[in-house]
């Protein structure tokens, strides 16, 4: 195990505003710059299903992520993406520990 953690959030852009997810992603990313333990994040766009996205953030550890997630600013900072979470899924996010890497 590497200790790193990746968080994936599934999102869908509304047909009437196809740029909404990308706009929210950039807004949140600017706000999260310098967050302790956050190694970076990426916005992944589906090559097969237009309007579907994954926001992937990488954390130095599960503890760093939990500390941020339990902090006062977490919900407010990530609020711009909340309306676009993919509710068709049982859970619109996943939390994964990196167990191997080359």
Q: Which two tokens stand for residue 30?
A: 């600017």
pLDDT at 1: 59
88 within a domain of the structure (yes/no): yes
Query: What's the average model confidence in pLDDT over 41-67?
Result: 96
The total number of structural domains in the chain stands at 1
Residue 102, domain member (yes or no): no
Confirm whether 30 is domain-assigned.
yes
Q: State the average pLDDT over residues 76-85.
A: 94
pLDDT at 72: 86
In a domain, 28, yes or no: yes
DSSP output for 32-96: HTT-TTEEEEEEEE-SSSTTEEEEEEEES-HHHHHHHHTSTTHHHHHGGGGGGB-TTSSSSEEEE
Query: Is residue 24 included in any domain, yes or no?
Result: yes
Q: Is the pLDDT score of 43 beyond 90?
A: yes
Average pLDDT over residues 70-89: 91
The answer as to whether 46 is a domain residue is: yes
**Residues of the domain holding 75:** 5-97
CATH assignment at residue 73: 3.30.70.100
């Amino acid at each position: 195990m590497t200790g790193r953690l990746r968080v994936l959030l599934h999102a869908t852009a509304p047909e009437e505003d196809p740029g909404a997810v990308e706009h929210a992603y950039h807004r949140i990313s600017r706000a999260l710059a310098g967050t302790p333990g956050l190694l970076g994040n990426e916005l992944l766009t589906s090559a097969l299903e237009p309007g579907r996205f994954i926001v992937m953030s990488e954390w130095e550890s599960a503890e760093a992520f939990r500390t941020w997630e339990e902090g006062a600013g977490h919900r407010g900072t990530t609020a711009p993406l909340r309306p676009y979470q993919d509710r068709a899924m049982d859970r619109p996010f996943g939390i994964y520990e990196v167990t191997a890497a080359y």
